[in-house]
Amino acid sequence: MPAVNSQPRRAHSGNRRDEAARLAVLHAADDLLVEHGFGALTIEAIARRAGVAKQTIYRWWPSKVEILLDTLIEDSDKRLSVPTEHPTAETIRDYLRGFARFLGDDPAGKVLLALIAEAQHDPATAASFHQRYLGPRREQERDLIARAIDAGEVSPRLGPDDTIDALVGPIVYRALTGSSIPHELVDTLVEDLLRPRSA
Amino acid sequence: MPAVNSQPRRAHSGNRRDEAARLAVLHAADDLLVEHGFGALTIEAIARRAGVAKQTIYRWWPSKVEILLDTLIEDSDKRLSVPTEHPTAETIRDYLRGFARFLGDDPAGKVLLALIAEAQHDPATAASFHQRYLGPRREQERDLIARAIDAGEVSPRLGPDDTIDALVGPIVYRALTGSSIPHELVDTLVEDLLRPRSA
Amino acid sequence: MPAVNSQPRRAHSGNRRDEAARLAVLHAADDLLVEHGFGALTIEAIARRAGVAKQTIYRWWPSKVEILLDTLIEDSDKRLSVPTEHPTAETIRDYLRGFARFLGDDPAGKVLLALIAEAQHDPATAASFHQRYLGPRREQERDLIARAIDAGEVSPRLGPDDTIDALVGPIVYRALTGSSIPHELVDTLVEDLLRPRSA
Amino acid sequence: MPAVNSQPRRAHSGNRRDEAARLAVLHAADDLLVEHGFGALTIEAIARRAGVAKQTIYRWWPSKVEILLDTLIEDSDKRLSVPTEHPTAETIRDYLRGFARFLGDDPAGKVLLALIAEAQHDPATAASFHQRYLGPRREQERDLIARAIDAGEVSPRLGPDDTIDALVGPIVYRALTGSSIPHELVDTLVEDLLRPRSA
DNA sequence: GAATAAGCGAGACGGTACGTCTCGTCTTACT
DNA sequence: AGTAAGACGAGACGTACCGTCTCGCTTATTC
């Protein structure tokens, strides 16, 4: 019986990693998180949803956190890039508004919140999350602020990291407590912290 | 440490709720969280550590989150009370400094962070956490700000909730990302947000 | 709604071992072995079939072999008891005929064969099988032969263990190779080995 | 130890079946069985040990049982041939002694026991084992007995198959139960069963 | 002062997910 | 065409907790 099955199931990629399986896992994880929350995000559920064997997940990811990090980094690069040119107060304000929208409306924002949360529960998650996501992004944000200062566009009284946390902190905290983030809040933060009276 | 009667295990209280068991559970939960993290905080581990039957826990608490909430509320009332008199900018600054210390150094601060985190993972936790902790505390904080404004001590450009989140957000975010919170950050937030130039 | 469900599920026995679960496991194991062979005899399949949690099996049995041993010992005591009185050549012959029937026709005989087999694959099985089944049974058989000799009923040229193995070996070997065991074979063995010419 | 070409891993043969791979698999299977028992005899372990790809095994053998059968048949032909000339009672006795030694001391004896065992667990093994090993060997043994009877050397009261099983059964059973097989046992079986008093 | 009722330690139970292992199939790249 | 390599879907392994349950005991409170 020489294989006359009409649908060839999936064109298994042989020796190399199966890109279709990789994407199926990332999407399954994302969907499950958004639809049923982090509690429903088990490796078994992801495998089931993705139509993939558990071992395929364990072969490529050490934990479900790394799966989420993969999706977050991809989505984040796509839809929340740190501006690299023309750093003015407005540029920064627009970036923060985009960040607020990302956290509130984008499914990937839920992933970010879940990772912030899981990092509290598990030190390994914290380490990976800082190294792979928070660190690099902070690097870019520091650069943004530094260039805006150099150009005389803004003059915060705090150091770069303190400034960024003062701007980003309220937005994240609002998202964590399930509240909306109005433009007014973001705008006033930018005005009061980046262009204070005494400057 | 009362009731150190060595002989007959524990003199157990018969008909009424056993206060010793209640305290043992609260302390066990606290200790486990601080020592081994939220991941190690299972009902079975709490029962084991507290020397209590699982059923005794389930009889009085619907979930481990409620145990943590109980400890948090007690500790929070004791060591982080919202000031009720003399509302000045300094009062508010000191409260925020105390909050930063609570989050950074106090074991109970770890409980608060864990609950913020768990609230992201589970809607029931979020509801209970808001209703039993965040809501009441926010009420007091709103009152604090309102009285300070009335007394002409501060004049924030944002509404009360926005103002509080703008002050508290950075502190929480710093704690969530494992960074320290210097006085300078808190002080500058108070100055820039509560006494802005245009006021 | 104070529990008006008509079937009370199962009257869980509380603190004590649940006899119904124990029997369900034994029967499930027996059934699966007979119906689908040793290969289908997994702990998961037994649990599924018995309507029992896996952990309930692991709590009481260290391996599936011990489950089979439990069923074998119970069935064996019931349907293949070594005769304890009137030891004559005919008694022995009847016992061996019973043994042949047990191996060939009784489901429990399949269990015995499976355990002989598994003992070849796994030393732990071998140890347990000898200690719990083969040893005690051999003790009784030795006693049977010894009393028959004392009474002058039989006079084998071999020692007790050699004699028993010479009688039992062909029966077991026949069963292992899937052949039938005619009375003639058993009878001739008894005649030639227990009442040899030179005695 | 042939083929110790140290340099380019193995000079692998391209188009034709690789004899070195075939032998490596057979030896690996044999070694693993003797060293770690049937439980450790997985296809993956054989491939690992033989330094061969799994697929190479699956291409040539339908199951690990067939690998064992290949080794058993080769070893059995070499070291346990059924005598073809001078069939006397002594010839038969010596053959049985050799069989006992094979089962007890020869590594290939462990293979035979493992296959007898596995045949209990899996019908496909049973079929193959009977067809490729037990059947042909029984054919030769029947012939041996028949010629001995024709020559008047022995006169068993049982038919050929019953006689052979009566002789072989105890030896196999002893091996299966891990006991030694003394010459005395073999000799007495031959005497009592092949030259009974009434013949 | 006996009966009742509730809390308690203990732990069995049916489940679900964990992370690991091996199965047998497959595809690729090399010889 | 045979091979080494190894990814893949499948599913069992033995463990840890989940939340529910029943037991046997202890200790007030009630009749």
Residue-wise pLDDT tens digits, A68-113: 999 999 999 999 999 998 899 999 999 999 999 999 999 999 999 9
Q: How much of chain C, in percent, has pLDDT values that exceed 70? A: 91
Q: Which residues does chain D have within 8 Å of residue C117's beta carbon, measured at their own beta carbons?
A: 116-121
Q: Give the tens place of pLDDT for each residue, A26-85.
A: 999 999 999 999 999 999 999 999 999 999 999 999 999 999 999 999 999 999 999 998
Residues D97 and D122 in one domain: yes
Give domain status of residue C9, yes or no: no
- Phi/psi at B78 (5° precision): -70, -45
Task: Give the DSSP per-residue string, chain B.
Answer: ------TTS----TTS--HHHHHHHHHHHHHHHHHH-GGG--HHHHHHHHT--HHHHHHH-SSHHHHHHHHHHHHHHHH-PPP-S---HHHHHHHHHHHHHHHHH-HHHHHHHHHHHHHHH-HHHHHHHIIIIIHHHHHHHHHHHHHHHHTTS---SS-HHHHHHHHHHHHHHHHHTT----HHHHHHHHHHHHS-TT-
* Mean pLDDT lowest among A181-185, C5-9, C12-16, D16-20: C5-9
Residue B4 has pLDDT above 80, yes or no: no
- Phi/psi at B195 (5° precision): -130, 65
Residues A90 and A139 in one domain: yes
- Closest among B18, B23, B69 to B46, alpha carbons compared: B23
Residues D44 and D134 in one domain: no
State the nucleotide closest to C47 in CA–C1' terms.
Answer: E14
CA atom of B41 to C1′ atom of E14, Å:
23
Specify the residue for token string 């919140």: A113
CA atom of B48 to C1′ atom of E9, Å:
11
Q: Give the tens place of pLDDT for each residue, C122-139.
A: 999 999 999 999 999 999
Q: Give the tens place of pLDDT for each residue, B64-90.
A: 999 999 999 999 999 999 998 888 999
Residues D69 and D110 in one domain: yes
Long-range contacts of D20-29 (CB under 8 A, 24+ apart): D21/D50, D21/D52, D21/D56, D22/D60, D24/D50, D24/D51, D24/D52, D25/D50, D25/D52, D25/D56, D25/D57, D25/D60, D25/D61, D25/D67, D26/D67, D26/D70, D26/D71, D26/D74, D28/D52, D29/D64, D29/D67, D29/D68, D29/D71
Residues D129 and D161 in one domain: yes
Residues C74 and C146 in one domain: yes
Q: Give the tens place of pLDDT for each residue, B8-17.
A: 445 566 678 8
**At D32, which CATH number?**
1.10.10.60
Alpha-carbon distance of D46 to B98, in angstroms, equals 66
pLDDT, chain B, mean:
92
Do the Cβ atoms of D195 and D154 come closer than 8 Å?
Answer: yes
**Does residue D55 reach within 7 angstroms of strand E, measured from its CB?**
yes
**At C117, which CATH number?**
1.10.357.10
CA dihedral B62, B67, B70, B73 (to 10 degrees): -120
Q: How much of chain B, in percent, has pLDDT values that exceed 70? A: 91
Q: Which residues does chain C have within 8 Å of residue D134's beta carbon, measured at their own beta carbons?
A: 177
Q: Which residues does chain A have within 8 Å of residue B174's beta carbon, measured at their own beta carbons?
A: 165, 169
Alpha-carbon distance of C180 to C171, in angstroms, equals 9
pLDDT at res. D19: 87
Cβ separation of C38 and D120 shorter than 8 Å? yes
pLDDT at res. C120: 96
Residues D42 and D83 in one domain: no
**Does residue A56 reach within 7 angstroms of strand E, measured from its CB?**
no
Domain end, chosen from B7, B37, B61, is at: B61
Residue B37 has pLDDT above 90, yes or no: yes
Residue D76 has pLDDT above 60, yes or no: yes
Chains C and D touch (3+ CB pairs under 8 A): yes
Domain end, chosen from B37, B61, B85, is at: B61
Specify the residue for token string 């960040």: A99
Alpha-carbon distance of B192 to B173, in angstroms, equals 19
Alpha-carbon distance of A39 to A32, in angstroms, equals 9
Residues D92 and D185 in one domain: yes
Chains A and C touch (3+ CB pairs under 8 A): no
Cβ separation of D121 and C38 shorter than 8 Å? yes
Q: Residue C9, class by beta-carbon neighbours within 10 Å (0-12 exposed, 13-18 middle, 19+ buried)?
A: exposed
Q: Nucleotides of chain F within 7 Å of a protein C-beta?
A: 1-24, 26-29
Domain enclosing residue B39, as ranges: 19-61
State the nucleotide closest to B53 in CA–C1' terms.
Answer: E9
Residues D88 and D172 in one domain: yes
Long-range contacts of B49-54 (CB under 8 A, 24+ apart): B50/B21, B50/B24, B50/B25, B51/B10, B51/B24, B52/B21, B52/B24, B52/B25, B52/B28
Give domain status of residue B11, yes or no: no
| pLDDT class of B127 with cuts at 50, 70, 90 | very high
Distance from C8 to chain D by nearest Cα, in Å?
40
Q: Which residues does chain D have within 8 Å of residue C189's beta carbon, measured at their own beta carbons?
A: 166
CA atom of A21 to C1′ atom of E5, Å:
60
Find the residue in B nearest to A113 (Cα).
B120
Q: Which residues does chain C have within 8 Å of residue D135's beta carbon, measured at their own beta carbons?
A: none
pLDDT at res. D13: 57
Give domain status of residue C14, yes or no: no
Residues A80 and A113 in one domain: yes
Residues A55 and A70 in one domain: no
- Which tokens in the block code for residue C126? 């071998």
pLDDT at res. D7: 40
Residues D51 and D110 in one domain: no
Give domain status of residue A1, yes or no: no
Give domain status of residue D105, yes or no: yes
Give domain status of residue C180, yes or no: yes
pLDDT at res. D18: 80
CA atom of B40 to C1′ atom of F23, Å:
29
Give domain status of residue A79, yes or no: yes
Residue C140 has pLDDT above 50, yes or no: yes
- Which tokens in the block code for residue C179? 């052949």
pLDDT at res. B1: 37
Q: Count residue pairs from A and B with Cβ separation < 8 A.
A: 124
Cβ separation of D120 and C126 shorter than 8 Å? no
Residue D33 has pLDDT above 70, yes or no: yes
Residue A173 has pLDDT above 70, yes or no: yes
Domain end, chosen from A37, A61, A85, is at: A61
Q: How much of chain A, in percent, has pLDDT values that exceed 90? A: 87
Give domain status of residue B13, yes or no: no
Chain C residues at the D interface, defined by Cβ less than 8 Å, are 37-39, 113-114, 116-123, 126, 130, 134, 157-158, 161-162, 165-166, 168-174, 176-179, 182, 184-185, 188-189, 191-193, 196-198
Interface probe for C, chosen from D65, D72, D176, D187 (most Cβ of C below 10 Å), is D176
Give mean pLDDT, residues C111-132. 97
Domain count, chain A: 2
Nearest to C37 among D123, D165, D192 (CB): D123
Using the C1' atom of nucleotide F28, identify the protein residue whose alpha carbon is closest.
Answer: B15
pLDDT, chain C, mean:
91
